[in-house]
Structure 1
Amino acid sequence: MELQAWITLGVLFLTLALLISEKLAAELVLILAMLALLALGVLDPKQALGGFSNEGMITVAAMYVVAAGLRDTGAIDLVVQKLLGRPRRLSLAQLRVMAPTVGLSAFINNTPIVAAFLPAILSWAKRNQFPASKLLMPLSYAAILGGTCTLIGTSTNLVVNGLWTSRGNPDLGMFDIAWIGIPTALVGMLYMMTIGQRLLPERKPGTSAFENPREYTVEMIVENDGPLVGKTIAEAGLRHLGRLFLIEIEREGRIIPAVGSSERLLGNDRLVFAGDVDAIVELQRIRGLRTPLNGNDAAIAKQYPERKLVEVVISTRCPLINKTLRDSRFHTYYGASVIAVARDGQRVRGGLGDVVLKPADTLLLEARPVWVERHRHSPDFLLVSDVADSEVPRFDHALRAWGILAAVILTATFGWVEMVTAALLGAAASVALGCVSVTAARKSIDTQVLLVIACSFALGKALEVTGAAAEIAGLLLTIPGENPLWVLALAYLMTMLLTEMITNNAAAVLMFPICMAAAEELGVSPLPFVYAVMMAASASFSTPLGYQTNLMVFGPGGYRFTDFLKVGIPLQLLLWGVAVAIIPRVWPFDA
C-alpha cells in the first residue's frame, strides 16, 4: 500500500479509539478526522466535503422535517396506540416495536420509517415506563433487518443487483433474498428480545435528576363527536398513564369519584387528572380530549393554532391574586389559557375555574411560542419558562401529514423521483400545508447526526480512493484456500467489517468484484456470494456509524459508542453463522 493508504488507516484507527473512549463528542471526532485527511493531502476539498452534499445526508435532514409534521399534528399518536398497545413486559414491547418496523422496511426506505416512529416510541416508552434505550436500538436494527427481505428493501440490494445485471445476468427476483432475509430477521428479533435485552443499557435522560416534582391538577373535556365517546376508561387508554391519575369525572353537574376502568365516557364529560408536567404533555396528545376553553380561550386557540405549554409562578405583585380563574379573565389579561394549577405540591380541590389565585401558585398555560419572551421579565410572575416538546397537536392536519409521508414513499418506491427529491418535496409540503411551522421544522433537524453522517463519508472516501479497503479485502480473501464454504464465510465477514467502516453501498461495491473473481477461480456458482454481499453489507449493527438509522437513535437513546459494540457484535456473529448455513442450501455452489 502507498503512504496515503497507511495515513488513512492511521486516521481511521485513531478515530475509532476516540469514539470508543468518548472523551470527545462524536461529531467533533469526525470533523477532526475529516480535517486531518484534508490537511495531510489524502483528500482534496471536494472529496472531503462531499458528504455535506451527499443525497443520504440531505434525505435524513428532510425526513426530520416530515417526521416533525407527523409529530406536531399528532398523526403518529393516532396510530401508535393501536399498533404498539400497552404491553406489560419489555420483551413484548420490543416485539411490538420491531415486528411492524421489519414489515414496513421491507418495502419502504429505512430512514423515513425510523424518523416517523422515533418521536412516537419516545412518547410511548415514557407513557408505559419503559427505558427508551431498551427500544430505540431494536427499532434501528429491525429497520436494517427488514431491508434485507426484498430487493427494494434497501439501496444496497439495488446496487448489488445493478452490479449483477451489468455482467449480463438477469435481474434478481423481488423476493429471492427473502429466503435468507426472513430467517435472519426472525433470529435477530429473537436475539434482541432475549440476549440483546440484557445487553442493552438502561439510560436515563440527562435531565432526569431535575424532573419537575410539582403535581398539577388539570381538566380535560371529552369531545362530543370525538373517538373516545362510548369507550370505557380502559379502552380509551386513560387508566395506565404513568405519573398521571384520573381523579374524578364531572358529568352534568354531578361528580363521579374513584372512577373505575369500566366507566364509559360520554360527550362533554369533564375529566380531572393529577400529574406532573411530562404526563400532562402526553395527555394532550390523546385525540378526543381537549382543554376546557371558554369563548375567549377558544378564539385565542383558533387565531393561534401553534401553541405550547408554559409554566409561570405567580408573584405577590400580580393584580389577579385573590380572584378565581373564572373571574380574573386571565386569558384576556395575558393572552394565554390556564390549563393546570399546582400549589405547595398539593392537588387543588374543586373545578379549575373556581381556583382562587394565591402568591407562589404555579400555573401551566397554553400560549403562543413568543409568549415566554414577552413576559419573561414581567413583575407579575416570579418564573416564566416554556415546557420542552409541549406543542399542542393539530389533529385536524393529521391525515394531511400521513398523506405527505405516503406521497414521499410512493414516489420514491416507484421511481417517479429520486428519494432525496421526494424527501425534500415532502419537507416543503409539510411546512407549506401547515403540518409544521418553520421554527419547529428548523428545530427538528438534528445537526449532530447530520454532522456525523457528512464527516463519516470522508473516511469512507479515503479508504476507497487510496485503495486501502480493496487491498485489505483482497489480502484476507486469499486465506481460506479452495473450500468455497470457507471463502463464502470470509467474504461475508470481510463485507461485514467493511460496512462498519465505510458506507453500505461502498462496501458492497468494493467486495462484489472480489467475490465474483473468487467464485470464478473456484469454479462455483456466484449466486451464493451475491447474496452474501447483500446480507453482509446491510449487517451494520456494531457501531452507530455503520448505518444512518443507528445514528438517528444514538442521541435520543442516550447511547454510548460501546453500547453498539456490546449489543451489535454478538448479533453480527449470530447472523453471520445463520447466513453462511442457509445461503449454500438455497443457492448451491454447484448450481
Structure 2
Amino acid sequence: MIWEAWLSLSIALGLLVSVAARLASTDVLALAGLAILIVVQNLTGSTHLPETSTAVAGFGNEGLITIALLFAVVAGLEATGATKLATGWLLDRAQSETGAKLRILIPVASVSGFLNNTPVVAALMPVIDDCCKRLRISPGRLLLPLSYAAILGGMCTVMGTSTNLIVCKEYAAAYGGEISFFQPALIGVPATILGLAYMILLSGKLLPDRRAAVSATDDPKKYTVEVQVDGAGPLVGKTIEAAGLRNLPGLYVAEIQRGDQVIPAKPDAVLQGEDALILVGALDSVVDLRKIRGLLTPDDQGRKLEEPAWRRTLIEAVVSSRCALLGKTIREGRFRSNYNAAVVAVARGNRRLEGKIGDVRLENGDVLLLEASPSFMHRAKELRDFYLVSQVSGDTVRRHERAWIALTIMAAMTLVAALNITSILAASMVAAIAMVALRCCTANEARRSIHWRILIVIGATIGIGNAMETSQAADAIATGMINLAGNQPFWTLAITYLATAICTELITNTAAALIMLTIAMGAAEALGVSQAPFVIAVMIAASASFLTPFGYQTNLMVYTVGGYRVSDYLRFGLPLTLIVFSTAMVLIPVFFPF
C-alpha cells in the first residue's frame, strides 16, 4: 500500500482504539482524525487523499440533514407525550411479568421502525418503572429487553435508526445504489420476531433480579449520599448513635470527613459543625434522612436554591452523553448554579463512589438524585443534558392535548416516505415544520433536541471513509478479507458482518457502519458481485449492538437505572447476537442474491 493508504488506515484504526479507550468524546476524536487528513493533503497536495471540499462534504450529506430534522420531529412527540399515549394504555393492562414483556416489547419494536429508538426508550423508562412497581418486579427484568427491542425494531426500515439512514444515503451518493424504505425489513422483521421470542421466553432465566438504581431494597453498599452537619444545629456534640444515625433503614454512615481528615464512623464518634457525613445505602431512605434536623445538603446547597423548601422534591436524572458537565466534578461544574438543583446522591453501576459528592467527576450514565423544583424536569428536558427516569407526582406532560396531532404528523411523514411520494428528507422537513407550526413543540425545543455530537461524528467519519477509498486502503483490506474467505462471496459476507459487529461494540454504530461500508463495497467490487447484500449486512450488523452497554446509546441509558453489570449484557446479548447473525446469513443471500 502507498503511504496515503497507511495514513488513512492508521487514522481509522486510531479512531477505533481511542474511542474504545475513551480518550476523549467520539465527536472530538472523529474531528481530529479528519483534521489530520485535511492538513496532510493540503501540505503534500497528494491526489490520493480527498481535497478539503470532498473531506467535509459529509456534513452536507442528505442523510445527516434528515437525521437532524427527525430529531425535531421527535421533540414534538416527546413534548406532547405522544409516545406514552401510543403505548402506555397497553402497558397499564399488564397483569404479570410475561404479560408486561408482551405489551412492551412488541409495540416498542413496531414503533422503533419509524422513530429514532433513543427517545422511544427514554419516553418509556418512567412508564416501565411504574409498571414494575405495580407488578412488584425489578425494573431490571424489563429495561434491557426494552433497549434490545428498540434496536431490533430499528433495523427494519431505512428510517428506524440513524445508522440505516446514513448508510442508505451514503450508498446512493457514493456508489449510485438504492435501498428502498422497507428492504431492510426482509432481514430485520424475521430477526426481530426471533429476537422478541427469545427475550420473552428466556429473559427471566438469563437476566438476574437486578434492582433499580434508586430502591429501598437495594444492596446498601452501592450508593453514596453526602450530608453536612449544621454548625448551628442540634446534632453538634452528639455521637452518631445519639444523633439517631445508627438505625437508619437501608443507610449507614461510612465515614466522617472533617476538613482534610477522614474519621471512622464509630457509634461513639462525636459530630462537629460542618462535618461531612458519607452515607452508603438505599437512596429511597434519603427522604427519611432529610427529616432529621441539623443535616444539610453538601455545602448548604439546598438552602441556596431559589425555590422554597416546601416546593422542592427529589428527582432522579441520568447524565446523558450531551451533558455540558461531563468530565468535571460536581463542584467544578457549579451544578447548583447551572441547574438550580442540589445533588443529593450519585449512583454508578453497581459500585459506590468514594469521597464527597462534590468531588465526583460526572460520567455518561451516572444516576443523580437531585433536590429541586418539579419544574427542573421541564428545564432539563429542554437542555437535553439528562435522561429523566423518575416521575414527579402530577402530570409532567406540557401539551398532552396535542399528542394526537403529533402522532398524526409522524404517521403522515412515515406513510409519505414509505410510499415514495417524496424523499425522506422532504417528508421529515415538512413534519418538523408542522410540529412547530401546530405547537406540538416550540422552535427552541426543536433546536435543542438535535444531537450535534451524533451529526459531527457522522460528517467526520464520512470524510475518513472517503480517504480510505481514495487512498485505496479499503481495497487492500477488502482484498485481504476475500483471500481469507477463499474468494467465496458468502464467507466474505460473513466476515464483513462480523467485522462490522465487532467495530460497532468498540465505537459508535454509525462510525463503524461508514468505515465498514467503504470496505464492503471494495470487497463486492473485487469479487464482481452485487453490492446490495454487503450494504444490508453492514446496516444490520452496525445496528445489532447487544454485547456491551457502550456500543449503543439505549443500552447505556438503562445500564445504571436497571442496576446491570457488563456481564449481564454479554450473557443476555450474546445469544441474541447469534440469532440476528444466523438470520442475516440465511436470508441475505436469498433476498439479495450475489
Tell me which interval the TM-score lies in, with the shorter structure as reference length.
0.5 to 0.7
Cα distance in 2 for residues equivalent to 1:410 and 1:440: 25
User: Is residue 137 of structure 1 aligned with residue 140 of structure 2?
Assistant: no
Shift of 1:397: 1.4
Shift of 1:4: 2.0
The gaps in structure 1 that reach 5 residues or longer are: 214-275, 280-309, 316-361, 371-386, 521-525
User: Is residue 426 of structure 1 aligned with residue 431 of structure 2?
Assistant: yes
Structure 1 vs Structure 2 CA RMSD: 5.4
Shift of 1:70: 1.6
Aligned to 1:247: none
Partner SS for 2:20? helix
Show CA shifts across 1:10-56 (max 9, x none): 22222222222234333333333333333333554334433433333
Partner SS for 1:478? helix
Cα distance in 1 for residues equivalent to 2:377 and 2:554: 30
Cα distance in 1 for residues equivalent to 2:192 and 2:498: 18
User: Is residue 539 of structure 1 aligned with residue 541 of structure 2?
Assistant: yes
Cα distance in 1 for residues equivalent to 2:37 and 2:468: 11
Partner SS for 2:152? helix
Aligned to 1:457: 462
User: Is residue 79 of structure 1 aligned with residue 80 of structure 2?
Assistant: no
Shift of 1:419: 1.6
Cα distance in 1 for residues equivalent to 2:202 and 2:36: 39
Aligned to 1:66: 73
Aligned to 1:9: 9
Partner SS for 1:29? helix
Aligned to 2:321: none
Shift of 1:415: 2.5
Show CA shifts across 1:527-548 (max 9, x none): xx8546524432114669x9xx
The gaps in structure 2 that reach 5 residues or longer are: 42-48, 133-138, 216-221, 228-283, 288-305, 312-370, 380-391
Q: 1:365 to 1:140 in 2, by over 3 A?
A: closer
Show CA shifts across 1:538-567 (max 9, x none): 2114669x9xx9755366445899899947
Q: 1:83 to 1:452 in 2, by over 3 A?
A: farther
Q: What TM-score results when the alignment is normalised by the length of structure 1?
A: 0.55
Contact persistence 1:22–1:561 (CA under 8 A): no
Aligned to 2:136: none
Aligned counterparts, 1:32-431, within 5 A? 32-41=32-41, 42-85=49-92, 87=94, 93=100, 95-104=102-111, 108=114, 112-114=115-117, 117-129=120-132, 130-131=139-140, 134-135=144-145, 137-147=147-157, 180-192=187-199, 311-313=307-309, 392-431=397-436
Cα distance in 1 for residues equivalent to 2:397 and 2:183: 46
Partner SS for 1:31? helix
Contact persistence 2:152–2:191 (CA under 8 A): no
Aligned counterparts, 1:552-571, within 5 A? 553=554, 556-557=557-558, 566=570, 571=576
- Identity in percent: 24
Show CA shifts across 1:270-324 (max 9, x none): xxxxxx9xx9xxxxxxxxxxxxxxxxxxxxxxxxxxxxxx953369xxxxxxxxx
Cα distance in 2 for residues equivalent to 1:564 and 1:4: 42
Aligned counterparts, 1:467-478, within 5 A? 467-478=472-483
Cα distance in 1 for residues equivalent to 2:25 and 2:170: 34
Shift of 1:76: 2.2
Q: What TM-score results when the alignment is normalised by the length of structure 2?
A: 0.54
Q: 1:389 to 1:138 in 2, by over 3 A?
A: farther
Aligned to 2:334: none
Tell me which amino acid in the other structure corresponds to 1:405. M
Show CA shifts across 1:211-234 (max 9, x none): 999xxxxxxxxxxxxxxxxxxxxx
Range that drifts further, 474-483 or 192-201 = 192-201
Q: Which has the larger radius of gyration?
A: 1
Number of aligned residue pairs? 416
Tell me which amino acid in the other structure corresponds to 1:434. R
Contact persistence 1:57–1:454 (CA under 8 A): yes
Shift of 1:398: 1.6
Shift of 1:205: 7.4
Cα distance in 2 for residues equivalent to 1:502 and 1:126: 32
Aligned to 2:30: 30
Contact persistence 1:149–1:175 (CA under 8 A): no
Q: 1:510 to 1:415 in 2, by over 3 A?
A: farther
Contact persistence 2:156–2:187 (CA under 8 A): no
Contact persistence 1:73–1:398 (CA under 8 A): yes
Cα distance in 2 for residues equivalent to 1:537 and 1:363: 42
- Alignment partner of 2:527 out of 512, 518, 542: 518
Cα distance in 2 for residues equivalent to 1:18 and 1:203: 33
Contact persistence 2:155–2:164 (CA under 8 A): no
Shift of 1:174: 9.3
